A = this chain, B = another copy of it.
Amino acid sequence: MIVVVGSIAFDTIETPFGRRENILGGSAIYFSLAASILERVGIIGVVGEDFTDEYLNYLKSKNIDIEGIKRVKGKTFHWDGYYEYDMNQAHTVKTELNVFANFHPEIPANYKNSEYLFLANIDPELQIEVLNKFIRPKLVVADTMNYWIEKKMDKVLEVIRRTDVMLLNDGEARELFKTPNILKAAKSVLNLGAKVVIIKKGEHGAIMFTRETIGSDEPFIAPAFPLEEVIDPTGAGDSFAGGFLSFLSKSGQINETSLRKAVIYATVLASFTVMDFGPTQLDKVSYNEIKVRYNKLLSYTKFGKI
């Protein structure tokens, strides 16, 4: 089983293509729905009384273990935001932490031996708290966000030191290491201690750097899946993480070959997420549809020797 700690939310989202109010969201949700296509996922998180059995049952129906979801008095975390025409940047109208304000992760006993752990972009102090409670995961993947880089830089660096794979988007990477150059930022992540860093560049794809211990010191340049229409980018990064981790867990191997495949698999998952509001597409997408896009990316990037 893969374990994720992250937010469970009701989101209100506006993009140039429409508006949705109080739809299911949060990093742990996008991650789990993406990952559960290949593997069972356990969520560690907190919800309020408005997160009814209907939602919990929905997650259960999706190969997701809900034992780690604590339901407490109060309202579920709520994010209200919008995207403008270019959609690369989320603008927050308001964030209501609600029950998330006093969240301290409690880990069910049977989660503690999990080999694959994802620390979504929550407070880095909580990420560290979770990490300390796990026995010996085979692979820890962590994400963060600008907010934490600005507020708790030291703790973000500690997470990077202790994680195997660090996910960052390009803006975060540049901000974290005060350089416009992605390669330099990536090297800094590896020098801190992470074995792998993946810089996500939205519609421009992603670039992965690995330490030589993984068997390669080459970058892997991954395309994005080309789409004519992006309806709602919310959750793309978490879906990417879910695809990535579930692919590695399924393959059971962590080497340059499996990591590269996992990045492409992750890219495809993210490409489905952004085609509709919230996790609508993640709910529907089949492994076969994912495979079709994976194969297209193989074909779209192929070129011969000279």
| Alpha-carbon distance between A168 and B229 when the two chains are bound, in angstroms | 20
| Alpha-carbon distance between A303 and B300 when the two chains are bound, in angstroms | 12
Chain B nearest CB, measured from A244 CB (Å): 13
A261 contacts B306, C-beta separation under 8 Å: yes
8 Å CB contact of A300 from B219, B226, B265, B298: B219
Q: Does A52 contact B (CB under 8 A)?
A: no
8 Å CB contact of A291 from B218, B300, B306: B306
| Alpha-carbon distance between A87 and B174 when the two chains are bound, in angstroms | 14
| Alpha-carbon distance between A180 and B85 when the two chains are bound, in angstroms | 7
Instruction: Flag the segment in A70-78, A94-102, A200-208 that touches B.
Output: A200-208
Task: Please indicate the chain B residues that have their CB under 8 angstroms from the CB of A53 in the complex.
Answer: none
| Alpha-carbon distance between A298 and B87 when the two chains are bound, in angstroms | 31
Q: Does A302 contact B (CB under 8 A)?
A: yes
Task: Please indicate the chain B residues that have their CB under 8 angstroms from the CB of A181 in the complex.
Answer: 228-230
Q: Does A260 contact B (CB under 8 A)?
A: yes
Residues A260 and B86 in contact in the complex (CB < 8 Å), given A221-B223, A226-B219: no
Q: Which 6 pairs from chain A and chain B are nearest by CB?
A: A204-B204, A221-B223, A260-B303, A183-B228, A221-B300, A86-B180
A residues touching B (Cβ–Cβ < 8 Å)? 85-87, 180-184, 201, 203-205, 207, 218-224, 226-230, 247, 257, 260-261, 263-265, 291, 294-306
7 A-B pairs within 8 Å (CB atoms) are namely A181-B229, A221-B224, A221-B226, A222-B303, A247-B306, A260-B303, A294-B306
